[in-house]
Amino acid sequence: PDDRPEDEAERGLRVADRGFLNTAVIESAITYIDGERGILRYRGYPIEQLAEKSTFLECAYLLIYGALPARSQLSHFEREVLLHGIMHADATKFFGSFRYDAHPMAMLTSAFAYLGSYYGEANPSLQGQTLFTKCAKGDPEALQNMDKQIYRLIGKAITLAAMAYRVRQGREFVVPPTGMSYAESFLYQLDHLSPTDSFSTSSSASPSPSPYKPHPVLARALDILFILHADHEMNASSTTVLQTGSSLPDPYSAVAAGCASLYGPLHGGANEAVIRMLVSIGSPNNVPAFLAAVKRREKVLSGFGHRVYKTSDPRSFIIRKIADEVFAVTGPDPLLDTAMALHDAALKDDYFVSRKLAPNVDFWRHVPHRILSTIPCIGFPMDFFPVLFVVPRVVGWVAHWRQMMLSPEGVKIWRPRQIYVGPSERSYVPFNERE
Ligand code: ACO
């Protein structure tokens, strides 16, 4: 029996949907997924076509503004994004307060939130919420202001990510270069040798040319990986960005919340978990024992399974193809044999087949590991992997955030309900009367 007060009960059915398996939280025109047929489209364009023909920043424009840009629109967008990658010198000091061994995701989450303190013009509480109201009404100045926050967030994503990497190594930060693509700029900022980089380069790798010039095949591979990760409709982190954004904070705070959500091993942290898993399995011979432990529920097969895809994730085929191009440049990946053995054995095993568990995009994540382990100085720490997911996903977050902010119906705060299962009313018991 429904014992809710009458006025509440009149509002209709309340559904408990643990994990939001069947709850659509928004109407969106951005990304389409058909998990049964393995289809992913950005604004109607198949991911396979975009990965082959487009660039990351063109896809970013498409996702955010809804249409493929004209040449002049793309040039303007690229220029603005790359220009806004530059950090104010004062803001870089903030990174000095992190422990040398802080997890890069913890640094990045804090850094995005910190940007909110820097750009007061985006903060509605300083502006009496007028910014978003004006945006929704199509005010050109307010829309320009919104665009500027978007350029900053995308441009600074690679700068902050590279800073988190270099902090770990005690290396000076690099000013974003000019004349490079987004992926090239990121590789440059990660690895450019600054004058105070006093350590020698590893003897096993070729010495770093100075100034650093990213390998074109690897830069293009990274650009495609960024395209594949740019958006994925209402995943946990995008939902978090919208949930946070629905109370109208500045977009930096909403993105910081998304970053925190992506940190976890069931979401963006899975790619780090895949690499650790492959390293711990060690060789194809150990695959059967590992799978047996997974089936006993002692371990998880990271990089398998997906809430939406019940067949192979289409992005995993594209990454598999890029992998061959990357390995042709970097040499074979020591983890590849183990990954292939694990992949083939799991797809033949009834435990995984009956649960429709197929490889997700994170399974082939050792590809960027290989791209970035070509960075000659120190190599690439595994815990940096979720950061490589955040960088492109900032685009999806801001695309969803902008769509919600400009929604003709206005923004409604996301305030779900619960099913209360605790005790009914009882009276306070003093200490001396408690059992
Ligand atoms: N290894 C072993 N068993 C698994 C796995 C896995 N990777 N994934 C799901 N299962 C099992 C579950 O134990 C459950 O079995 P049961 O019905 O006998 O209890 C069944 O398959 C259904 O799984 P759920 O956890 O209910 O599926 P859900 O949709 O809630 O979770 C998730 C999806 C979180 C991705 C899950 O598959 C998982 O933990 N995978 C490993 C982590 C991972 O790769 N995450 C990346 C996701 S993609 C991304 O964020 C980019």
Q: What pLDDT is stored for residue 272 in this prediction?
A: 77
Q: Residue 286 gets which letter from DSSP?
A: G
* pLDDT tens column, 162-215: 999 988 888 888 899 989 999 999 999 987 765 555 444 444 444 444 566 788
Residue-by-residue DSSP string for 2-26: --S-HHHHTT------GGGTT----
Higher pLDDT, 154 or 123: 154
What is the pLDDT at residue 106? 95
Structure tokens given for 237: 């982190």
Question: Closest Cα partner for 41 from 66, 19, 20?
Answer: 66
Least confident of 100-109, 210-219, 396-405, 409-418: 210-219
Task: Tell me the pLDDT tens digit for each residue of 345-374.
Answer: 999 999 999 998 988 887 877 777 777 766
| Cα 389 to ligand 1 centre (Å) | 19
Residue 286: predicted pLDDT:
96
Task: Enter the tokens of residue 25.
Answer: 């939280």
Is residue 34 helix, strand or coil? strand
Annotation says 369 is catalytic: no
Give residue 375's pLDDT. 59
Is 333 assigned a catalytic role?
A: no
Under 8 Å between Cβ of 188 and 177: yes
Structure tokens given for 34: 């058909």
The answer to whether 141 touches 134, Cβ cutoff 8 Å, is yes
- Model confidence at 1: pLDDT above 60: no
Specify the pLDDT at position 386. 87
- Given pLDDT bands bounded at 50, 70 and 90, which one contains residue 2? low
Residue 75 CA, ligand 1 centroid: distance in Å? 41
Q: Please tell me the distance between residue 306's alpha carbon and the centre of ligand 1 in angstroms.
A: 6
Ligand 1 lining (C-beta closer than 6 Å): 19, 266-267, 270, 294, 300-307, 355, 357, 360-362
Residue nearest to ligand 1 atom 49, measured at CA: 267
Backbone angles phi, psi at 424, to 5 degrees: -80, -175
Alpha carbon of 304 to ligand 1 centroid (Å):
7
Name the one residue in this structure whose structure tokens are 């019940």.
310
- Catalytic pick from 84, 306, 343, 369? 306
Ligand 1, atom nearest to 304 Cα: 7
Over residues 69-95, mean pLDDT: 94
Q: Can you say whether the dihedral through the CA atoms of 382, 55, 183, 252 is positive or negative?
A: negative
Average pLDDT, the chain: 87
Q: pLDDT exceeding 70 applies to what percent of the chain?
A: 89
Single-letter code of the amino acid located at 217: V
Residue nearest to atom 40 of ligand 1 (CA): 305
Q: What is the pTM of this model?
A: 0.86
One-letter amino acid for residue 263 of the chain: Y
- Reported ipTM exceeds the 0.90 cut: yes
Instruction: Report the phi/psi class of residue 38: left, alpha or beta, with left for phi > 0 and alpha for psi in -120 to 50.
Output: left
Spatial separation of the C-alpha atoms in residues 97 and 78, rounded to whole Å: 32
pLDDT at 56: 98
Top-confidence residue, 380 or 33: 33
Nearest CA residue ID for atom 41, ligand 1 = 302
Atom of ligand 1 at shortest range from CA of 236: 50
Helices and strands of the chain, counted as H and E runs: 20, 3
The secondary structure element, H or E, covering residue 40 is: strand 39-42
Most confident segment among 134-138, 280-284, 303-307, 321-325: 280-284
Encoded tokens for 338: 């183990």
Q: Whose CA is nearest to atom 3 of ligand 1?
A: 300
What's the rounded Cα separation, in Å, for the pair 92 and 154?
17
Nearest to 109 by CA among 179, 164, 63, 55: 164
- Which alpha helices (H) appear in 170-229, and where do they start and end? 182-191, 216-229
Contact 309, 38 (CB under 8 A): yes
- The Cα–Cα gap between 245 and 247 comes to 5
CB-based contacts of 361, cutoff 8 Å, min separation 6: 228, 229, 313, 315, 316, 319
Distance, CA of 272 to chain centre: 13
Residue nearest to atom 5 of ligand 1 (CA): 305
Distances (CA, A) of 296 to 230, 300, 341, 430: 35, 10, 20, 48
For ligand 1, the distance from its centroid to the CA atom of residue 386, given in whole angstroms, is 18
Residue 310 CA, ligand 1 centroid: distance in Å: 11
% residues pLDDT > 90 (the chain): 51
Rg of the chain, C-alpha, whole Å: 23
Q: Report the candidate in 363, 104, 43 with the shortest Cα–Cα distance to residue 230.
A: 43
**Number of the ligand 1 atom closest to the C-alpha atom of 229:** 51
What's the token pair of residue 245? 């954004």
> 176 is written with which tokens?
């974003």
CA torsion 405-406-409-414 (nearest 10°) is -20
Residue pointed to by tokens 């050792």: 366
